[in-house]
């Protein structure tokens, strides 16, 4: 007796988060976000560029806090009472930088993204944006996290300040 043949439709979903910022939503894969935490004290870093807000303590380690908007040349916005830190896992470009954090303006929402539902949008990308997308009626930005990490590493090495 033969086993019934199974037809499998290849549907790949990526568990993601829609992370609210001041003027946009970031779309990030769940695996890239280590944790969303309440804002804590930011330890200042002397002579840091305006996009490097300082360091926060997360799980007993210093994590650099960056402003995605300021990196892209937008004015630094304020924070709402719902603001949080999104601690992001490193992309692996340096062992010296296991995490970075960005300031969000609220709690992210879960998104199950598949290729049938996501569309690239036209527009001039800013330096730290990989792509503008539309998903389930929401416009979002996919950030260039590795470039954000490289900017921080370059600053620490004294190379550039963006």
Query: CA 97, CA 100: separation in Å to the nearest integer?
Result: 7
pLDDT score at 99: 98
The reported pLDDT for the residue numbered 82 is 86
Q: In this structure, are residues 76 and 70 in contact, taking their beta carbons and an 8 Å threshold?
A: yes
State the average pLDDT for the chain.
Answer: 91
The pLDDT of residue 97 is: 96
Is 135 within a domain?
A: yes
Of 147, 145, 143, which Cα lies nearest the Cα of 132? 143
What number of helices (H) and strands (E) belong to the chain? Answer: 2, 11
22 located within any domain: yes
d(CA 80, CA 77): 9
Those residues of the chain that have pLDDT short of 50 are none
> What local confidence, expressed as pLDDT, does residue 35 receive?
98
Total structural domains within the chain: 1
Domain that holds residue 137: 17-156
pLDDT of residue 5: 59
At 15, list the tokens: 């568990």
- Note the pLDDT of residue 44: 95
pLDDT tens, 53-100? 999 999 999 999 999 999 999 987 677 788 999 999 999 999 999 999
C-alpha atoms less than 13 angstroms from C-alpha of 106 in its C-beta half-sphere:
13
The answer as to whether 30 is a domain residue is yes
- CATH number of the CATH domain containing 58: 2.40.50.180
């Amino acid at each position: 007796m033969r086993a019934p043949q199974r037809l499998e439709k290849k549907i790949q979903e990526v568990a993601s988060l829609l992370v609210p910022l001041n003027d946009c939503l970031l779309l990030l894969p769940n695996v890239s976000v280590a944790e969303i935490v309440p804002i804590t004290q930011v330890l200042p870093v002397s002579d840091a560029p305006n996009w490097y807000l300082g360091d926060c303590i997360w799980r007993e380690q210093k994590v650099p806090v960056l402003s995605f908007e300021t990196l892209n040349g937008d004015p630094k916005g304020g924070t709402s009472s719902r603001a949080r830190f999104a601690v992001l896992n490193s992309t692996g470009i340096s062992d010296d930088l296991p995490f970075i954090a960005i300031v969000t303006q609220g709690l992210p929402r879960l998104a199950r993204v598949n290729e049938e539902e996501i569309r690239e949008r036209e527009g001039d990308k800013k330096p730290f944006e990989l792509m503008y997308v539309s998903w389930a009626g929401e416009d979002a930005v996919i950030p260039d996290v590795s470039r954000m990490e490289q900017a921080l590493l370059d600053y620490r090495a004294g190379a550039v300040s963006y």
